[in-house]
Chain A
Amino acid sequence: MRRNSMQLTAHICLIVFCAMCLLPMVLTISVSLTDGQAIQTFGYQIVPIHFSLEAYEYILKEPFTLLSGYKNSIIIVVVGTTLNLLITSLIAYPLARRDFPFRGVISFYIFFTMIFSGGMVPFYILIVQYLGWKNMLISLIVPAFAAPFQIFLLRVFFQEIPPALIESAKIDGASDLRTYRSIILPLSKPALATLALMMTLGYWNETIHAILFIDHSAKYPIQLILKNITAYIEMMKNGGVDPSGNPVDPSDVPTDAIMYAMMVLTSLPVMFVFAFLQKYFVKGMTIGAVKG
C-alpha cells in the first residue's frame, strides 16, 4: 500500500517537473503561431487562440539573414568538429598508452590549464591584436580545439581497449600511427560519436566569443542572429524606432509573434536533432562525470 502511494507521488512530482521543462518551449511555439491582436488581448496562451502563420510569412519573405546565420554556423560546426575530433583523438591515444613515458608530463601540461588561466582579457588581446582574427570564423573554431575535459574523456574510452590488441599490432610491425588509424579509431566509433555530438553542441550554442570577435553581420553565427534580431524587434516594438533611430510606421511594428517565430526558426530544428541523438550524449557524460 505504502509502496504504491510512494510510487504515485514520484510519478506526480516527475510529471510536474517535466511539464515545467517543456512549458517555455510550448509557449514559444504557441505564441509564434498566434495572431498579433490576440496576443495583445489574451496574453501568452499554451494553445494559440487565433491561429495565424503571419509571423512565419513575415520572416520567410526575407530569409537571407536567417540563412546566412545557418550557413556560418554549419561551416563552424563541420570544420570545427572534424578538426577538433582529429586533434583531440591524436593526443588522447598517446595518453592512453601505459608504455608512453611522457604521459605524466603531458597530462599535467593539459591539466594545469583546467585550474589556472590568464583570464578573458589577455585571451581577447591575443585573438584580436596578435592573431588578427577579428571578424573571422576561425576565431570561433580554433579556441575550442583540444579541450582538456574532452581529451581526458576520450582517454578513458581508449584505455578500455585491450592492450593486447595494440601489442599484437606492434609485433606485426605496425607503427603507432598505423595502430591508431586501423585499430583504435575503428574500435572507438561510439566514443567518437559521443564526442562529436558534444563538440557540435558546443559550437552550435557558442555565443560569448561570437559577441567578442564578430562585428560583421554577414559573419554572424546563428546564436548572434537570434540575439540581435530579437533585440532589434523589441526595440522597434517598444521604442517605435529602428536601430538607426528612424521612427517606424505604426502599421509596420512587428508583433511578439515574430520574435517567437524567430526563436523557433533558429533553434528548434536543431534541438530536435539533439534530442533524437540524446542517448549517445548521456552515455558519454556519465562516464566522463565518474572519472573526469
Chain B
Amino acid sequence: MNSERLRRKLKPFKDHRHLLMMSLPAMIKIFIFSYLPMFGIIMAFKDYVPAKGIAGSPWNGFRNFEFFFKSVDAWRILRNTIGLNALMIVVELLAGVIVALLLYEVASRRMLKTYQSVMFFPYFFSWVLVGLMLTTLLNPGTGMLTSLIHRMTGQEISFYSEPWYWIIILPLVGIWKGTGFSSLIYYSALMSIDKELFEAAEIDGASKLKSIRHISLPFLAPMMVMLTILAIGHILRADFGLFYFVPRNVSLLYPVTDVLDTYVFRALTVSGDFAMSSAVGVFQSAVGFVLIIGTNRVAKLFNKEYGLF
C-alpha cells in the first residue's frame, strides 16, 4: 500500500529522468555559484577572519553595517549610485527613442543598415578599451577635445582630476556605447505600427512632428514605461565597467565616480576589508530585491502584460 503510493509519487521523476538528467549540470552549477554564496550573507554579521573561515569567525551583530553607514563614504556612494543611475536611465531612454524615431525616417534600406551597423560597433568594445579610447579625446594637452577647448577658450581643462565633468561624461559614454542596441528595440517596435495610420494622418494634414507625437510616441509608451520601471529595480547595481574602467579608477574622481559596486570591488582588491564590504553587498542585494519586486508590482498595475513575473 505504502510502496504503491511512493511509486506513484516517484513516477513523474522516473518518466522524465532523461529531461531531469539534462537539467542537472546547469542546476549544480547554479547551486554552487549562486545559492552557496547566499549563505555567505552571514559574513556581513561577523567579524571575518580569513584564517578562521566564515563559520569560525565571531559574530558582531550589525556593527559592519553601522561602520559603513556612519562613514563619510556612505552618503557619497549612495548619492553617486542612485543619482548617476537615475540620470542615465533618463538620458539613455531619450537617446534610444530619439535615434529609433530618426532611423524610422530613413527610407533607404542600405543607409539604414549602415547607420545601425556603425552605431552597434561600440557595443562590442570592452570597457577597458572604451576607457583607454576616451583618452584620445580627454588626455591633458594632446586630447582632441582638450586641445579644441584650449584653442577656443584658452583654458586647459584637466578632465582626469576634475570630478564634476564626469556627471556629464559618464552618461555620454553610456549613450555612446548603448544606443546602437537600445534604439534597435524601439525601432523594431516602430516597425510593427500599421503604416496606414501615418498615411491617414498625412492626408488629414498632420505634420511629421504631430504624427510622431500622436502615433509613434503613444505606441512606444508601454515599452518605455516597462523598461524604465525595470531599470529602476536595478538602480543600486551600477554598470561596473562604466564606473571603474572609464574614469580609469582615478582616485581624484571618486567624489563623482565611486558607486556601490566599485566600492566593494576596491575593498576586495585593495584594502581587503571583507567584513564591511560584505555588509555593503548584503545591503545592495536586499534593497535591490525589494526594489525589483516593488517595481514589478508597479509595472503590473499599469498593465498585466508589463510585469516580468
Residues of A within 8 A of B (CB): 2-3, 6-7, 9-11, 13-14, 17-18, 20-25, 27-28, 31, 39-40, 43-45, 87-88, 90-91, 93-95, 97, 100-102, 106, 109-111, 113, 115-126, 129, 142-143, 145-146, 148, 151, 175-177, 180, 201, 204-205, 207-208, 211-212, 223, 226-227, 230, 256, 259-260, 263, 266-267, 271, 274-275, 278, 281-282, 285-286, 289-290, 292
Contacts and interface: CB of A to CB of B under 8 A. Distances in A.
Given A7-B107, A11-B106, A275-B117, A100 B16 contact: yes
B265 interface: yes
B30 A27 contact: no
Contacts of B125: 205, 267, 271
Contacts of A223: 126, 128
Given A17-B99, A119-B264, A24 B133 contact: yes
Nearest to A230: B132
Nearest to B261: A120
B33 A143 contact: yes
Given A43-B147, A142-B33, A122 B26 contact: no
Contacts of A31: 136
Given A13-B102, A282-B120, A286-B185, A126 B132 contact: no
Among all A-B residue pairs, the 3 with the closest Cβ atoms: A122-B40, A119-B281, A118-B37
Given A118-B41, A122-B39, A275-B117, A208 B241 contact: yes
Contacts of B38: 116-118, 122
Interface residue SS majority, chain B? helix
B124 A275 contact: yes
B241 A260 contact: no
B22 A93 contact: yes
Interface size class of B (residues with CB under 8 A): 35 or more
A39 B30 contact: no
A7, A40, A227, most chain B CB atoms within 10 A:
A227
A275 B121 CA distance: 6
Contacts of B34: 113, 117-118
A290 B34 CA distance: 26
Contact of A263 (B132, B185, B240, B267): B132
A207 B29 contact: no
A2 B208 contact: yes
A285 B184 contact: yes
B26 A208 contact: no
Contacts of A7: 105-107
B278 interface: yes
Contacts, number: 262
Contact of B99 (A14, A120, A259): A14
Interface residue SS majority, chain A? helix
A226 B33 contact: no
A87 B124 contact: no
Contacts of A27: 133, 136-137, 144
B37 A119 contact: yes
Contacts of B298: none
B133 A263 contact: yes
A226 to B, nearest CB: 6
19 contacts: A3-B208, A21-B119, A24-B137, A43-B142, A44-B147, A90-B22, A90-B26, A94-B22, A95-B23, A111-B309, A118-B38, A118-B40, A118-B41, A120-B281, A121-B281, A175-B18, A177-B22, A205-B124, A285-B181
Contacts of A123: 33, 37, 40
A121 B118 contact: no
Contacts of A274: 124
B82 interface: no
